[in-house]
Structure 1
Amino acid sequence: MKFILYISVLSTMLCSCGKYLDVVPDGVATIENAFTSRTTAEKYLFTCYSYMPGHGDPATNTFVAGDEFWLPYPQTPQFYYNDPFEYLARGNQGIVNPRLNYWEGRDGGQPLFQGLRDCNIFLENIATVPGMQEREKRRWIAEAKFLKAYYHFWLLRMYGPVPIIRENLDISTGVDEVQVKREPVDSVFNYVIALLDEAAPDLPLVLENENDEHGRITRLVLLSVKAKILVEAASPLFNGNSDYASFGNPDGELLFSSAYDPEKWKRAADACKEAIEACQSAGLELYVFNPSVLSNPISEVTATKMSIRNSVAERWNSEIIWGNTNSLSNTMQALSQARVDPEKINNAGARSLLAPTLKIAELFYTENGVPISEDISWDYENRYAIKTAAAEDRYNLQEGYPTASLHFDRESRFYASLGFDGGTWYGQGQYDDNNAWTLNARAGGYSGRLSVSLFSVTGYWPKKLVHFQNLLQPGDGGGYSIVSYPWPVMRLADLYLLYAEALNEYSGPSPEAYKWINLVRERAGLKSVEESWSTYSRESAKYTTKQGFRSIIHQERLIELAFEGHRYWDIRRWKKAREAFSGNIQGWDIAQQEPELYYRVRTLFTRQFTTKEYFWPISEGSLIRNKKLVQNPGW
């Protein structure tokens, strides 16, 4: 129990990849000598950070677990790790060897219970370190408490009720005491929030030394994450979920309350407001692209799209609350990059694998800021018909190129977020938006399927995740120069939309709730919710009711945060997964060359999401070792 298995060094400079690197020292260090100096204690703190989940890694998060992306199957392992896609998206998860196993730290999952143990070791021993200022000790303690809270939350969101690891057990603890049981979800949420409240006063509002400390937890991060956790606790999956009314421990203790508590939304709204006010006092604001950094002028249309793309891909921009330096964007960018240059079609760096589904392409609004099925001026029934782009479409579509009507007259986030056949792709060394790259994704086209592995199976690409200054290199198997960024775990637009949601759920539509969603829409070049629905929607009064405004907020979140790792978790907490994740996964018929054949809807897979999939299974091995554990229902 007293051996330190991990002593880590934090690489804080982004150019050195921003990773928390595990380093095993010569000989064996004991806990006592790990806390004999400030330097060794700091290394142990960074060990606690090293368990942070890979938010931006599709092999360790849930990007391919739902309906947002699809992949060619089976995939060549050198280009993509198949397990999350095969076992989660295709419905093959099981109890013998669960994938993304964060309970035991296997098959893509971090060993979070081990992380909790190391956080406890740190908290038990930091007081003994000589020569440190008390202010710095309190800050480090607060960071460890945040990490401890966040690891509990990650497990809770994934598994439902989990054991609370308040402190480490003594080496002399008996077998019965070692076997711990799961605790009710409300108890776990309350414990997590209590830890965050303890930590908040001792964290700096913002980093005092950004060059050396990027990735460290600040009070802004803590307050924003607290708001997100309280929204999760108030949401239908955890607030009055009758599906789990009889789910309990072997001793009869129930783990879910089936009683809905509206005050949880009030608590969430208050936390969101506090976090927003802290962000404002720190100078954070929604990111807007500054075209003056470019050598050539760009259109207002392109500038708006760059504001949307760079709110994610521009590292440490004005709305990034938490960028995880332990989870860089390189893999996601490579998997998302389409082949846009016909002279560099053999570039293996452009893996072109993460393919947004047709459902996602239909999710974005029309240019009038309402759903395509509601817009009174948009031809929804003929959305798959062929139409040729005109000169006025040139900033979004290739002039004179036939493509689907679905791709016309859409909002800026559609064009900023998605690459598609006949669409434009600003960047890649070509910074003239009158002559931007275009995609030719039909059979035989330079963006289409050219090998057995590297292609978009739906005909779409998540352009939003790719930095506009990335460069494909020439030659067979040429390199790919990536402008890396820490994964944006939380940005200001996310927080604004959480606040609008919490306000609506507690007290219904209001000018205050409209305000925060409208700020996000304004950055995307859209009119307010009130004006857009009143003027353009078949459901003109939709925003005036709690249920209608809820639907608007949900869709706004799914659009604004598309491809950033939020959709799967949001749809689960709303208890919409059985509807959203069941049915046909669809794309275009990418094997066809003629537009009339290419733009036929093709079903790639059909699946049925079941109630049991709301929570991960605990492995059989864990249940055998710990008789006090009970399996999640349905597994």
Structure 2
Amino acid sequence: MRPYIYISLLIVVVAGSLHSCKKFMNMDHFFKDRMNIDTLFVRKDYAEQWLADVYTHLRGENLDVASKDYAPFNLISDDMFFGDRGDELDGRSYKNYKNGEYTESWIQGSWGSCYQGIRKASIFIYNIDRNREMSKEEIAGRKAEARFLRAYYYWLLLRKYGPVPLVPDEGIDYTLPYESLAIPRSHYDTCVSFITRELAIAAKDLSPDRTNRDMARPTKGAALAARAKVYLYAASPEFNGNTEMADLVDNTGKPLISQTYSEEKWARAAAAAKDVMDLGIYRLFTAPFNAEDQGPAQPKTIVPPYNPRYSDAAFPNGWKDIDPFESYRQLFNGAVTASGNPELIFSRITELNNVGPEALAKHQTPYSMGGWNAHGITQKQCDAYYTNDGHDIPVNPRVAGFTTNATDNLPLPAGVSLQYANREPRFYASVSYNGSIWYRLSALDVGLRSKQIFYYRGEPDGKQPASPQFHVRTGLGVKKYVNPTDSHDGKVLGSFIVPKYEPAIRYAEVLLIYAEALNELSGSFNIPDFTGAATHAVSRNVPEMSKAISQIRIRAGLPDFDGGIYGSKESFRKALKRERQIELLGENHRYYDLRRWKDAPVEEATPVMGCNMDMTAAQRELFHTPVVIPSFPTIFVKKMYLWPISHEELRRNKKLTQNPGWTTPY
């Protein structure tokens, strides 16, 4: 084999000329020994370095939970927002995103980065077998990792841009004329078939678990869970018989999205999720409050109302032996390590200190406690949380009055609107309502360890003329990812921030995929498992749907849905969407969910509501009367379904076509 023969589309989409292509393909600068590919993969240490470099493209804009500079999609749907970037900076404000005022040049680093990762992974896959210092098992495992990474990079592109060019599996000869290197976009279903096939192949040789040192490496479960996710999107209305997207075409004018609906796609998603469940490796994380191996019994932080079916049963049948509030809060705030979390399936653990969950926590922390006080949730998101007995909150009219002490309406302190009382534990673990208590227990000064935060106008964390960007625009902040030990004020003695990891894929998502896919079935299907040696018989099976979804709700201190919801496909679909909205808040799902469901034209165009931030503490009743937030206008037009492809890429690859509604360079 000739050195450097296998390359990816990166030649077309990144390099500016054949000269620069060849320079880019030369990997000598990565290795002091200046060896070429013909000899590089013979050595174990150099091969490992190459694979490590493939992993580096999981960073930056390919993160799911990160600051807005890298993962803005986590903060520009109808659930969360950011307010600390105004038009006077670089135009990338929340308003610009919500109004569709972004351009073809915004947030485009993922395209080139993913294709670089794809190219490097392909080179590794086709050359690692020549290694003389690895066992056959080691080679198979490392090749499976590279195969996972290549498929995952394609998935990230598919989710963001829709159908993308698939590089020929055998690679491209860079000596061909430049014009011959252009590759058109592949059909969406073709992309799905390739990605899911590669993930299934990878799963066969990936380890089922990892050591503490290897937590960032994909496992068998990661490959299978990613596969289920890809199938779920393929089955969803945006990509399954979507005639409204008939104008998304390739360079020959052929539609890139199937115009015919296929129910079998839902069956594939359900079967893929079942593959993960059948591994028997993962379970929902729960924080015990009275387990023998946890030391002396501790009272629950929030006690759900008594329910004869759930209060006296152990998890997963009830919440007798778990703390629902801490079970959800500790899942994200670093209280449990990645290796100690049985729910975590895949995470980009490295390089998160400045841009990942810690950065979100910094943005969410009150200004008066060293944070930026910039992220919040909408009134819609606040109202989505159930009451503590599983009912909808009253909104017309809302509950009136305020707490008068810190004991009668636990966990609310005094001076808090009663519309925040008697909510489900996930609400208190996620939402910073007006008057909630914030902690920084790492502070040495006891007097600085807790503070009640109010968002009234004129308060330190409310609307201030001197710092208009640093206030929560809806009066509803975010506590998810915040650890009570965290102290973001460097001037406070003892300041400490608990390290956190990104929940890229967790078991709760797999259970939600399974329930959603089963609900959409009308017939029965026999779908091969990932090995092809067995089959899953799938149909709309209510006990199976309940088995999946009830675990998530019981972990949250809520009863399972009643028979009326399970009995109606439409009712369960509505409840499932709401469950995803609550459970997966801040994990980069809502933006894509609304698009794949084709709900975005309604949900994202609905005015953003919140508290009246112009009201002072003396006008607290008016403050808590929801109003439209004037600085957050919203629209949704068709072009906002898919992210635009940059003009630079379109110029370099003449066979690329632009997504509907976006411009193509002349």
TM-score, structure 1 normalization: 0.84
8 Å Cα contact 1:215-1:322 kept in structure 2 = yes
Q: CA deviation at 1:429?
A: 4.9
Residues 159-206 of structure 1: CA distance to partner in whole angstroms, max 9, x if unpaired? Answer: 111111234311212233201000110000001011112111111111
The correspondence for 1:315, drawn from 327, 331, 337, is 337
C-alpha change, 1:472 and 1:94, in structure 2 (3 Å) is closer
8 Å Cα contact 2:439-2:450 kept in structure 1 = yes
Write the letter of the residue equivalent to 2:276: A
| Worse-matched range after superposition: 219-228 or 595-604 | 595-604
Residues 401-459 of structure 1: CA distance to partner in whole angstroms, max 9, x if unpaired? Answer: 142x4312221111111011122446635999xx9753222234344346344332221
C-alpha change, 1:252 and 1:388, in structure 2 (3 Å) is same
* Cα RMSD after superposing both structures: 3.0
Residues 227-265 of structure 1: CA distance to partner in whole angstroms, max 9, x if unpaired? Answer: 111111111111111112243223233211111100111
Secondary structure of the residue aligned to 1:360 is helix
Secondary structure of the residue aligned to 2:632 is strand
The correspondence for 1:305, drawn from 304, 313, 325, is 325
Secondary structure of the residue aligned to 1:311 is coil
C-alpha change, 1:512 and 1:93, in structure 2 (3 Å) is same
Q: CA deviation at 1:225?
A: 1.2
Q: CA deviation at 1:297?
A: 4.2
Paired residues, number = 578
8 Å Cα contact 1:185-1:238 kept in structure 2 = yes
Q: Which runs of 4+ in 1 moved over 6 A?
A: 291-296
8 Å Cα contact 1:55-1:327 kept in structure 2 = no
In structure 1, what is the equivalent of residue 575 of structure 2?
Answer: 552
8 Å Cα contact 1:322-1:488 kept in structure 2 = yes
* Alpha-carbon distance between aligned partners in 2 of 1:84 and 1:4, rounded to the nearest angstrom: 41
The correspondence for 1:491, drawn from 506, 518, 538, is 506
Write the letter of the residue equivalent to 1:284: R
C-alpha change, 1:220 and 1:493, in structure 2 (3 Å) is same
Q: CA deviation at 1:466?
A: 0.9
Map of 1:190-589 to 2, 5 A cutoff?
A: 190-207=193-210, 210-278=211-279, 280=280, 282=281, 284-290=283-289, 297-301=298-302, 303-313=323-333, 314-316=336-338, 317-326=341-350, 328=352, 329-338=357-366, 345=368, 347-348=369-370, 350-372=371-393, 379-383=394-398, 385-388=400-403, 392-399=407-414, 401-403=415-417, 405-425=418-438, 428-429=441-442, 437-449=451-463, 451-473=467-489, 475=491, 480-507=495-522, 508=540, 510-530=542-562, 541-589=564-612
Q: CA deviation at 1:40?
A: 1.1
C-alpha change, 1:410 and 1:251, in structure 2 (3 Å) is same
C-alpha change, 1:248 and 1:609, in structure 2 (3 Å) is same
In structure 2, what is the equivalent of residue 117 of structure 1?
Answer: 119
Alignment gaps of 5+ in structure 2: 8-28, 304-322, 523-539
C-alpha change, 1:220 and 1:172, in structure 2 (3 Å) is same
Secondary structure of the residue aligned to 1:321 is strand
Q: CA deviation at 1:304?
A: 2.3
C-alpha change, 1:283 and 1:27, in structure 2 (3 Å) is closer
Map of 1:117-156 to 2, 5 A cutoff?
A: 117-156=119-158
C-alpha change, 1:175 and 1:428, in structure 2 (3 Å) is same
* 1:102 is the counterpart of 2:110: yes
TM-score, structure 2 normalization: 0.80
Alignment gaps of 5+ in structure 1: 6-22, 106-110, 340-344, 373-378, 535-540
C-alpha change, 1:566 and 1:509, in structure 2 (3 Å) is same
8 Å Cα contact 2:238-2:597 kept in structure 1 = yes
Map of 1:138-177 to 2, 5 A cutoff?
A: 138-165=140-167, 166-177=169-180
Q: CA deviation at 1:284?
A: 3.4
* Alpha-carbon distance between aligned partners in 1 of 2:580 and 2:643, rounded to the nearest angstrom: 24
Secondary structure of the residue aligned to 1:583 is coil
* Alpha-carbon distance between aligned partners in 2 of 1:582 and 1:554, rounded to the nearest angstrom: 17
Write the letter of the residue equivalent to 1:130: R
* 1:65 is the counterpart of 2:71: no
* Alpha-carbon distance between aligned partners in 2 of 1:461 and 1:124, rounded to the nearest angstrom: 49
* 1:611 is the counterpart of 2:648: no
C-alpha change, 1:254 and 1:402, in structure 2 (3 Å) is closer
Secondary structure of the residue aligned to 1:256 is coil
Secondary structure of the residue aligned to 1:199 is helix
Residues 470-516 of structure 1: CA distance to partner in whole angstroms, max 9, x if unpaired? Answer: 2354748x895211121011111111111111111114461211221
* Alpha-carbon distance between aligned partners in 1 of 2:495 and 2:595, rounded to the nearest angstrom: 35
C-alpha change, 1:472 and 1:180, in structure 2 (3 Å) is closer
* Alpha-carbon distance between aligned partners in 1 of 2:604 and 2:295, rounded to the nearest angstrom: 41
* Alpha-carbon distance between aligned partners in 2 of 1:90 and 1:294, rounded to the nearest angstrom: 53
* Alpha-carbon distance between aligned partners in 2 of 1:75 and 1:613, rounded to the nearest angstrom: 21
8 Å Cα contact 2:42-2:133 kept in structure 1 = no
| Worse-matched range after superposition: 318-327 or 189-198 | 318-327
8 Å Cα contact 1:205-1:218 kept in structure 2 = yes
Q: CA deviation at 1:323?
A: 2.1
Secondary structure of the residue aligned to 1:629 is coil
Write the letter of the residue equivalent to 2:182: Q
Q: CA deviation at 1:529?
A: 0.4
In structure 2, what is the equivalent of residue 15 of structure 1?
Answer: none
C-alpha change, 1:584 and 1:447, in structure 2 (3 Å) is same
In structure 2, what is the equivalent of residue 11 of structure 1?
Answer: none
| Worse-matched range after superposition: 550-559 or 81-90 | 81-90
8 Å Cα contact 1:521-1:527 kept in structure 2 = yes
Q: CA deviation at 1:24?
A: 5.3
8 Å Cα contact 2:443-2:494 kept in structure 1 = no
In structure 2, what is the equivalent of residue 16 of structure 1?
Answer: none
8 Å Cα contact 1:143-1:217 kept in structure 2 = yes
8 Å Cα contact 2:376-2:476 kept in structure 1 = yes
Write the letter of the residue equivalent to 1:356: I
* Alpha-carbon distance between aligned partners in 1 of 2:383 and 2:141, rounded to the nearest angstrom: 46
Secondary structure of the residue aligned to 2:566 is helix
Write the letter of the residue equivalent to 1:319: E
* Alpha-carbon distance between aligned partners in 1 of 2:649 and 2:259, rounded to the nearest angstrom: 27
8 Å Cα contact 1:68-1:357 kept in structure 2 = yes
Q: CA deviation at 1:135?
A: 0.6
Q: CA deviation at 1:596?
A: 2.6
Write the letter of the residue equivalent to 2:452: T
Write the letter of the residue equivalent to 1:287: T
Write the letter of the residue equivalent to 2:425: S
| Worse-matched range after superposition: 405-414 or 557-566 | 405-414
Write the letter of the residue equivalent to 1:63: N
